[in-house]
Amino acid sequence: MVRRDRRAAASRCECCNAGAEETIRHAMFECRAHDGIRTTFVERAEEVYPEFGHLSQDARFRLLMAEDTPKEIDMLFYRYLIQIIASRELGPPGPAQGVGSRA
């Protein structure tokens, strides 16, 4: 039983402390710690690929994870992922920082 608790704790997002399961979808679309870089990514993606702004979160996820992601947003997406990884490596914000001030 202790093992199960450790696995559950290890699978929780440590960036936002919201208790959410740490998944790619959470990091890309939900994690509060990545709000700033997500906003920048979405704005840039909409500029170069206007259809992106009209897609649901599910449709965006499928588009970005597809093997034929449109060239217009492909490099933006890779940069976004790199920024998420870098933000994640910083760990959760300290008490003086607050969520969203690490971008």
- Please check whether residue 98 lies inside any domain of the structure: no
Q: How far apart are CA 85 and CA 77, in angstroms?
A: 12
Residue 7 has pLDDT above 60, yes or no: no
Residue 9 has pLDDT above 90, yes or no: no
- Please check whether residue 85 lies inside any domain of the structure: yes
Identify the CA nearest to 81 among candidates 21, 41, 36: 41
- Please check whether residue 43 lies inside any domain of the structure: yes
Number of domains comprising the chain:
1
pLDDT tens for 13-66 read: 888 878 888 899 999 999 999 999 999 999 999 999 999 999 999 999 999 999
Determine the pLDDT at residue 88.
82
- Please check whether residue 66 lies inside any domain of the structure: yes
Determine the pLDDT at residue 3.
41
- Please check whether residue 18 lies inside any domain of the structure: yes
Q: How far apart are CA 25 and CA 1, in angstroms?
A: 28
- Please check whether residue 100 lies inside any domain of the structure: no
- Please check whether residue 38 lies inside any domain of the structure: yes
Determine the pLDDT at residue 65.
94
Cβ proximity of 12 and 21 under 8 Å = yes
- Please check whether residue 20 lies inside any domain of the structure: yes
Residue 96 has pLDDT above 70, yes or no: no
Phi-psi map region of 91: left, alpha, beta (phi>0 left; psi -120 to 50 alpha): left
Which range marks the domain in which residue 31 is found? 2-90
Determine the pLDDT at residue 29.
94
Residue 87 has pLDDT above 90, yes or no: no
